[in-house]
Each structure stands twice: as structure tokens, then as C-alpha cells.
A and B are shown apart, each in its own frame.
Chain A
Amino acid sequence: MAHEPTASSSGPAGMDDAATAFLAGGNGPDARITEQSLRHAPGPYFGSYGGRWMPESLIAALDELEDTFEKAKVDPEFLAEVAELNKNYSGRPSLLTEARRFGEHAGGARIFLKREDLNHTGSHKINNVIGQALLARRMGKTRIIAETGAGQHGVASATAAALLGMECVVYMGAEDCRRQALNVARMQLLGATVVPVTNGSQTLKDAINDALRDWVANVETTHYLLGTAAGAHPFPAMVRFFHEVIGEEARAQILEQIGRLPDAVCACIGGGSNAIGIFHGFLDDAGVKIYGFEAGGDGVETGRHAATITLGRPGVLHGARSYLMQDEDGQTVESHSISAGLDYPGVGPEHAYLADIGRVSYEPITDAEAMDAFKLLSQTEGIIPAIESSHALAGAIKVGKRLTEGAATPSDIVIIVNLSGRGDKDVETAAEWFGMLDEDGHVKGTTLSTRSSKGAAPTAEANADENAEDATHE
């Protein structure tokens, strides 16, 4: 399953300049781009998905944004400014770290983590907000609004607004405000106003609805800084553009570190921004399998999940035609996930297209599987991942076991996992999940135990092994 390095492999020289990598992600020359290329699809449609299913009031703003983006992405001055901030503010390129002990639990495959968790603000989200905030400034907008689920995009938006001296209002479901109180405080400390949304399911989809209402009313002064590769054109293509740097870097880094491309790339999928970013580096590499892991919640058979591609149907929500969790009447079905960032009943339209043509495999991961992987990475590598990213880690364990099955040397299998964010924000959720809290909500001990409902707690190491053996329990 080994791949030869391609002519465009960049080696050390190619990776020491984040600006070069970023610039190459736009319209720069790239030997891999052919007529059959799946990369850099411009929108508004990806197959039959995408488009603009939006109120007329917002079309002029979308046109202005599209025009500004199309000009900016070929403007060396703009690209250089993004690249400079990526390098000297966000901390790009992010590392590609081999997770050797974790890999032992994935059939012995070599697992490499693309460390977006090391970015400023702790997730991949900063890539997109830097780009969009600069576009907002170009358009003369003075105010940014954003929606957020887990709070990572809200924190990133508040950060970019602070950096550029703009007003920032973040809409967040009231339920998510509760789940992610630490991030609410972070946004407020950064100077943003957080508006708890009490409509509907009080989660990400409802936060988007309220952000859209704000945008309709204030579009002259305000840019809606959408946080994922979904929504009306040009958002899916534009958000992807700012995240393509993840895949560009990862591809060059793996070529540098092991001299060939990976066998598989894994990422978690809510709206799908981190995933589309890393996928784009590998879409034209036919030998690389690509996997997106959706939030399976309590299990897709229970109805309490956010596995949009797995069980959704094509429909229209928040401005785009894509897969959607909906009932027989076309009413949006409320999603469920332990991960606020994946708790969304829609998905970016480019993912819908990639699923239909079979280039990317999308599979659900349950809350329990994700939390097992969360603990496993923490205890085998000393890296506490975001619960969102833990879905990708759990998926990588499954993929690793599949690809190494019967292999004489499992370590020949190489998998890159996009570690989209760090788990600081999720510590309370994890502590609750693992039964670490007493009745007053205080931490009971210093060692992670399994959830109290599962009975006796084995030692951490033994427990990690047990979970790796049976990542699908529950």
C-alpha cells in the first residue's frame, strides 16, 4: 500500500515557509490539478449540492462577499497577509506528530496527528476566522457576528475581532452555553458579546438561525463569519479555501517524514470545515483512502445522533442543498451528540458530493466510542483532544484495524488523523462522563475511571487497552 513520493513533494524546503504552502492552496501552479481534479471546486454547486437557498435580502451581501473573496484569493497582498498571520499569530505550520503508543491500539498502524490543537485559540477554527475577518475589513464592515456550537469558532471569531479592532457578537445555543461555559467566559474576556439562543433545540442550528436574522437586519455594517464549510455560496468554497492549508501542510509533512503519502486520512465531520481542509490535500491522490467520521451520538439506530450523511436525505437548510436530518415533512430533526461542535443536523455540500461519488467514506462514531478514544489518546500520548476530534481518533482505530488485518508488518500502514482541536473546553464534560465528579460536581480523584454506570473502574492503562480492544462497546 506504499505510495511513491510525487513530483510535487516538497521536502524540508517546502515546509519551512507556511506562506508558500498557503499560497499554493489557492490558485497557484500545482502539478496535481487536472481536469479530473476534485480540489478547489469553486462552487456554487458541488454536483447537485450547494447553491443559495437564502432570503433575497441577503443576496446582495453574498454577492459582495463572493466578489471580495474571488479578488482576494488571487491578490498576493491579501494572501501574504493571511500567511503572515498564520505563521506569526496562529502558529502555522502546525506539527505532524506520530502517536506511537496510540497506534498500537489501531492494529499497529502508524498514526500521525495533524496538530491543529496547537494553533492559537486551540483549534483549526483560527484559519478561517483570520481569512474572513480580513475580508470583512476589505468590505468596510465594522461588526462581526458568528454562531458557535462548542465555542471554538466563537472564541476564534472573538479573537480575530479583537485583533482587527472589530465589534463581535456570538450566537450560541443556551444548551451549548451550559455545556461550554468556559468558552463563553473566554469569548467575553476577548470583548465579544455572547447571545444565548433559546429557540428550538438551543444548539448550533438555532444559533445559525439567529445569526442569520441578525445579518438580515444589519448587513450593511456586519459580516456573518460562518464557522463551517456549509451555508450559501460562497461560504462552503471560501471556508474550505482558508482551511486547505491543513491538508497542504499535512501532505508535505508526511512526505518529508516518511517519504510517501499515507494510506488513509481521517477527520471528524459536523459541518465539516476541518475535514474539508485536510481532505483537500489528498483528494487527487487516488491511493489515499479518506474517511469522515460523523457524530453517532447514542447510536444511529436510536435516532439520537448527528450522522447526517449516514442517515440524512438531501434537503435545504441554512442556504445550501446538502444532506440533512429531516422528517417526512421536511422539518429539521434535532441532532444529538456529546460533542457540541458536531451537534448539527446538516453538513457542508462538498461533503455530500464527495460521499455521493464515493471519494470519501463517511461513518458514524458513537459518543461512547469517541470518549474511549478521548481517554486513550490522553493516556497514551499525553494529548487531551477535543471531543470532536476524538470521533476522528475513534475512527482511526477502526480504520487501522481494518487496514492492518492480516498484514505481516502492520506498521507499513500509515494514517493521518486531523486533531482539529484540544480538549481543554471538554474537561468538565469528560469528567462527568467518566464519573469523576461527586454529587456537588467536584472532582473525586485523580485517576480517570470508567463511567460509574459501567461498574468497577480498572486502572487507566488497563482500561485504555480494554477500550482499544473493544471500541464499539455500548
Chain B
Amino acid sequence: MSEATAPATGGKSAGNQGAASKSAAAIDRAKAAGRKALVAYLPAGYPDKQTAIDAAIAVARNGADIIEIGIPYSDPVMDGAVIQAATTQALANGFRVADVFDVVAAVTAQTDAAVLVMTYWNPVLRMGVDEFSRRLAEAGGAGLITPDLIPDEAEEWFAASDKYGLDRVFLVAPSSTPERVAMTVQATRGFVYAVSIMGVTGARASVSSAAEAVVAAAHGAGAEHVCVGLGVSKPEHVREIAAYADGVIVGTALVAALRDGGVPAVGELARELSTAFDPATPTTTTGA
């Protein structure tokens, strides 16, 4: 961690991206094993709570270092069609926000993966930021990824995440100014989520050339751990990103695999993606 100046937000935990961070530790374990971290997104409650738990465990046992459990939400503006369809179905099937703690607890108990929750902010606000954080920590969760909460509005979350020792993963984008990258890096604990493209979630044919610059900007601002997400779906993407980032985040492709082939398919895709870090593995294209 560089000795950057404290962020405008107050920077309560400036400089401790890695300190006592479960997700940073997971990335470091992957690094010690000679590879980069695989971060896998799956929505809680899709298609039902138990299958979501089974899928997350299958992904973790097939090489994912960090599991990102998404809370289905009525207005997911950063999500593309595949994930929105899945989360809409989860809601229709009766998903309740409190269910996410059961999923986190089950996956944490049965795997070595760090388990983060990805959530839009209103469900957290509704439960109460402190109460949500307390229950997440109690369930063994590593922290939160917040796609519509920027550090500028996160005072309550700073306090709660410090109190319960949770990671706070903020996003940086190709459009982020150097000042905002620096401020976001300082506010973050765990890893910085580098958005590879200007757009929403969804599989794309190739990884944007913007991703490398975003990662470089975050590293330049002092981030120890930077993972790249959005539009990452194939082993060749993973290999490409591994050349410059600390981890690779895959979502839509896994959700599509779960939709089309159930738990075995999502486990198989995770294995393909995780073994792509090995330079000896030939490039293949999955059907996801």
C-alpha cells in the first residue's frame, strides 16, 4: 500500500486494503500458488436457495477463490439481461434478503473461499447498515461489493465495515478521474473492482482494452489488489486479464451455465476458468 493522502471521504481505514481482509487473503493465497484469483458471481436464491448454495460450493471447489453472492433486487441497473432474468426469477420464487445470510454461512462453512455479498444499496439501508453488517459478519461473510454506492455516500458503511471487520469493495471505471480512482482506492478494503467496460454485466466477445488502463490506474493509486469484472466469460479472457490484474471476476457466464446445465455445468465452467490461469492449459472456448 502506498502512502497516498487520505481520501476526501474521511478515509477511516486508509491504507488497510489488505489488513484483516478475507478477500485480500484469498487473493494472496492464489498469488502464493503462482496464479491469479478467480472471483465467481452467483445470485442468492437462484433458482432456489439450496441450489444457489450447491452451485456456489461447486464453484468454490472447482477453483474459485472468492464467491460473490448477489442479492436479487427489483431495480438492478448495472446488470444485463441474463443476471436480471435470474434475479427476477429468484424474487418470484420467494427470495428474501435475510436468505443471503444462510447462503453465505453455508458456503463459508463448506469451502475455503472468501464470500462477499454483491448488493445494490437500498436493501442494506432498509435492514439498517449496522444490522446488515452484523448479520453478514456473523454468517462469516467477507464484506460487500456495492455497485451503486460510491465512497462519497458511504459514511455509514465505513463505520459499520470497520466495526465488524468487513471488506468494502468499491468500483472504479474507465471513466473515473485520477482523483476519483485515488479516493476510491483509499476507501476500499479487500480489492478494487475494476470495471472493464462502460456498460452493464453480460458476456462479451472480447475484453475491452480499457481494462488494463483501469487496473494500472488503481495500482498506481496504491491498490494492492485489483480484480477485473464485466464482460469476462471465457478462459482466454481470464488468461488475458491475468497478465495485468490480481484477479478475474466472472458472473454472467456462470449464471448462464447454472441456468442451462445446473450445478454440474457451473462447476465445470469454474474448473475451465480456474485452470486457464495455468499457462500450460490450451485455450478453449466454452459454450457459456
Contact = CB atoms under 8 A, between A and B. Distances in A.
B109 interface: no
A51 B121 CA distance: 13
Interface stretch (A52-60, A281-289, A413-421): A52-60
A223 to B, nearest CB: 14
Contacts of B177: 60, 63
Main secondary structure of the interface of A (DSSP, over half): mixed
B184 A55 contact: no
Contacts of A315: 122, 125-126
Contacts of A56: 150, 170-173, 175-176, 180, 184, 195
A217 B127 contact: no
Given A56-B195, A59-B176, A329 B77 contact: no
Contacts of A379: none
Given A52-B153, A216-B198, A329 B175 contact: no
B74 A200 contact: yes
Contacts, number: 109
Interface stretch (A35-43, A187-195, A205-213, A354-362): A205-213
B123 A329 contact: yes
Interface in A295-321: 313, 315-318
Interface string A356-399: 00000000000000000000000000000000000000000000
B75 A317 contact: yes
Interface in B68-122: 73-78, 80, 84, 88, 91, 96-97, 121-122
A230 to B, nearest CB: 13
A53 B125 CA distance: 12
B75 A209 contact: yes
Contacts of B278: none
Interface in A320-335: 324, 326, 328-332
A457 interface: no
B91 A316 contact: no
A400 to B, nearest CB: 38
Nearest to A200: B74
Contacts of A212: 77
B54 interface: no
Given A52-B152, A55-B78, A56-B170, A330 B125 contact: yes
Contacts of B97: 329-330
Interface in A425-454: none
Contacts of B173: 55-57, 59-60
A237 to B, nearest CB: 17
A185 interface: no
B8 interface: no
Interface in A168-212: 199-200, 205, 209, 212
A61 B175 contact: yes
Interface string B37-77: 00000000000000000000000000000000000011111
A95 interface: no
Contacts of A59: 150, 173, 175-176, 180
A329 to B, nearest CB: 4
Contacts of B172: 56
B149 A53 contact: yes
- Leading 7 A-B pairs by shortest Cβ distance: A330-B126, A330-B123, A57-B173, A60-B175, A217-B199, A330-B122, A332-B74
Interface of B: 73-78, 80, 84, 88, 91, 96-97, 121-127, 147-150, 152-153, 170-177, 180, 184, 195, 198-200
26 contacts: A52-B152, A56-B170, A56-B171, A56-B172, A56-B184, A58-B175, A59-B180, A60-B177, A60-B180, A61-B175, A63-B177, A200-B88, A213-B80, A216-B200, A217-B199, A315-B125, A315-B126, A316-B125, A316-B148, A317-B75, A318-B75, A326-B122, A326-B126, A329-B123, A329-B126, A332-B75
Given A199-B88, A316-B121, 14 more contacts: A52-B152, A52-B153, A55-B147, A56-B171, A56-B180, A57-B175, A58-B175, A60-B177, A213-B77, A216-B78, A217-B199, A317-B122, A328-B126, A331-B91
